[in-house]
Chains A and B, each alone.
Chain A
Amino acid sequence: MEVEQIMSIHIQDIEKRFGGFIALRGVDLEIKKGELLALLGPSGSGKTTLLRIIAGLEAPDAGVLSLDGEDAGVKKARERGIGFVFQHYALFRHKTVLQNVAFGLEVLPWRRRPGRNEIRRRALDILKLVQLDWTADRLPSQLSGGQRQRVALARALVLEPKYLLLDEPFGALDAKVRKELRRWLRRLHEQVGVTSIFVTHDQEEALELADRVVILNEGRIEQVGTPDEVYSHPANPFVTQFLGSVNLFHGRIRDGVAQVGTWEVDAPEHAGASGAVFAFVRPHEIELRRRFIGKAAVLAQVRQVRSFGSAVKLDLTREEGDGWLEVELSHEEFQNLRPQVGEWLLARPRRFRIFPQPSEAARWTA
């Protein structure tokens, strides 16, 4: 019973195909009340389809969707109590900002519809919440992209929805506005507390903004977890590679110990596996030295040094095998080492993420 209380949306085995294209192949997901959830994935991963199915804009071919413990399969979009924000805003361009926001109230059945003044007051209140009450009498075409997106959000919030769904909410905006709106949405979510799901293909956006992140790929969920969980403990090679840069090493595993080059890495979680493995190392998890005493390392030559922001990025070529090595140093580490382009250095990963290589290996390394 208690589970029902915190579970707001329950998705079970949802499938959807469009003609020959399979958008979702059996998706299970539970969404908690009041959380801010990101659906993250590359294009074609099915994230938007999943969002549209929750909204009732699309009907699943199979599976169960329940909202607050009720089967939503029979409910139409307008009966679900959702607010939907479209990527391209979908504002009614012949209506003023205020009329756009008031729309949801205007179309209520007359018994539940508030009076004219009440509609106006509530619409203005929501506009104040998104800090756009001063644009009330303008047309959408007179607003900037970021302002339009906030109007779209206000319009979705006016009916006090139980769920707020946002489809690539910042996708059509430029980088600076996007950052501002992101922070602003986070604050708004804390203020309003409505269960919110947003779709994005930008991993930074998902990790910065969401309470939990759902990573989708080719119609399947690859992993669900907090930003820290999915970033630090990716469940598989796809997630590892999708969330930020990563260096790839090849190795073999036997009896829970992986042999990667000259390193031996304990991987008790793969005790039963044997054969080829991938070993992933993030750029900031590599140590660079001129010499290591008593520790195995690989030799690599510095090709390029890029210094901007909080870290210094180095591109190196490995001596053995082919391929690049991407290393991230703090400015302090960089000052201590002062590596020169063309110089040979020793590199040593601090930690590996080991994944047994699936037979369709090419898929991940491509």
Chain B
Amino acid sequence: MGAAIGLLAKTKEVPRTRATTESWLVRLALIALALTFLFFFLLIPLVEVFQKAFEKGLGAYWQAIQDPETRSAIRLTLITAGIAVPLNLFFGLVSAWAIAKFEFRGKNLLITLIDLPFSVSPVISGMIYVLLFGTQGLLGPFLVEHDIKIIFTPVAIVLATIFVTFPFVSRELIPLMQAQGREEEEAAMTMGAGGLRTFFKITLPNIKWGLLYGVILCNARAMGEFGAVSVVSGHIRGLTNTMPLQIEILYNEYQFVPAFAVASLLALLALFTLAAKGIVEWRSNKS
């Protein structure tokens, strides 16, 4: 739901004059209070992940990651993200082109519908696929008859992941492309450029930072999704476990070091995401 707020606040420094700032004591107290809050709610949990992961030393950590079930969970996570992210990236580009560059009725409704997965609880996101493809589901009898299994297979995991990461890219691109208008593209067309050529030469360079931003967020969610995936996975070890699901299983079996070892990989991904996000914002502010 992070992207629901759009491109991050571009914080601008307001020059403070004497009449509109607080005494240094108040300032210090407020900063201290805010940092204390962030320290306990952000930093400590983050540190805890790495501390627990390396509690028994580097060897134990390495061993935990080498575990075959864990490795297959990592593989499934990468495959899932590898399918979901490009699909939603393509959808993001196509939908943003249709919505930002043309006028048509029902546009606002379409945008609202695209945003829908953000406002649905992850558990419900998974559940709707069970209702659709499960044995008692809408298509259940048909699937059983043709011996097709979707629920409790990687296919369902990919589908649920596509659902929860569905709006990320288009959410970033639509406002960006709307703000840029269509004059540049129209100019290119009048100079004889074709549609695809115009898109790659004119549109894409203009939106590259927003696109990258959306992809980064989309990827982070795709690799980290837990609730929706948990509903449809069936938790079959070595087969339908993604990294977050593997963490759950390990943790519930009191295998804390392996659980936190896998968690630390995802935490690294989160840190990488934040860093990339910061860089992208900085670059797009500059250009």
Contacts and interface: CB of A to CB of B under 8 A. Distances in A.
Task: Note whether A and B contact each other (Cβ less than 8 A).
Answer: yes
Interface of A: 52, 55-59, 76-78
Nearest to A76: B19
B18 interface: yes
Contacts of B19: 55-57, 76-78
Nearest to B18: A59
B229 to A, nearest CB: 45
Contacts of A56: 18-19
A55 to B, nearest CB: 8
For chain A, what secondary structure do more than half of its interface residues adopt (helix, strand, loop), or is it mixed? Answer: loop
Given A57-B19, A76-B19, 14 more contacts: A52-B17, A55-B19, A56-B18, A56-B19, A57-B17, A57-B18, A57-B20, A58-B17, A58-B18, A59-B18, A76-B18, A77-B18, A77-B19, A78-B19
Nearest to A55: B19
A346 B264 CA distance: 93
Contacts of B17: 52, 57-58
A52 B17 CA distance: 10
A56 B19 CA distance: 7
Contacts of A55: 19
Interface of B: 17-20
A126 B18 CA distance: 29
A52 B20 CA distance: 13
15 contacts: A52-B17, A55-B19, A56-B18, A56-B19, A57-B17, A57-B18, A57-B19, A57-B20, A58-B17, A58-B18, A59-B18, A76-B19, A77-B18, A77-B19, A78-B19
Contacts of B20: 57
A55 B20 CA distance: 13
Contacts of B18: 56-59, 76-77
B231 to A, nearest CB: 45
B161 to A, nearest CB: 43
Nearest to A78: B19
A76 B20 CA distance: 11
Contacts of A77: 18-19
B213 to A, nearest CB: 32
Instruction: Output the residue of B17, B19, B20 with the most chain A CB within 10 A.
Output: B19
Contacts of A59: 18
A129 to B, nearest CB: 26
B22 to A, nearest CB: 12
Nearest to B15: A18
A77 B20 CA distance: 10
A57 B17 CA distance: 6
B167 to A, nearest CB: 32
A58 B21 CA distance: 11
Contacts of A52: 17
A88 to B, nearest CB: 15
Nearest to A59: B18
A339 B47 CA distance: 90
A78 B20 CA distance: 11
A58 to B, nearest CB: 6
A199 B17 CA distance: 19
- In order of increasing CB-CB distance, the 5 nearest A-B pairs are A77-B19, A57-B19, A59-B18, A57-B17, A58-B17
Nearest to A56: B19
Contacts of A78: 19
A8 B185 CA distance: 64
Nearest to A18: B15
Contacts of A58: 17-18
Nearest to A58: B17
A90 B18 CA distance: 18
A80 to B, nearest CB: 10
A118 B17 CA distance: 33
A183 B20 CA distance: 33
A56 B17 CA distance: 9
A77 B21 CA distance: 12
A345 to B, nearest CB: 54
A53 B19 CA distance: 11
A203 to B, nearest CB: 29
A65 to B, nearest CB: 13
A9 B20 CA distance: 23
Nearest to B20: A57
B17 to A, nearest CB: 5
A24 to B, nearest CB: 15
A77 B19 CA distance: 6
A103 to B, nearest CB: 16
Contacts of A57: 17-20
A86 to B, nearest CB: 13
A314 to B, nearest CB: 46
Nearest to A77: B19
Nearest to B19: A77
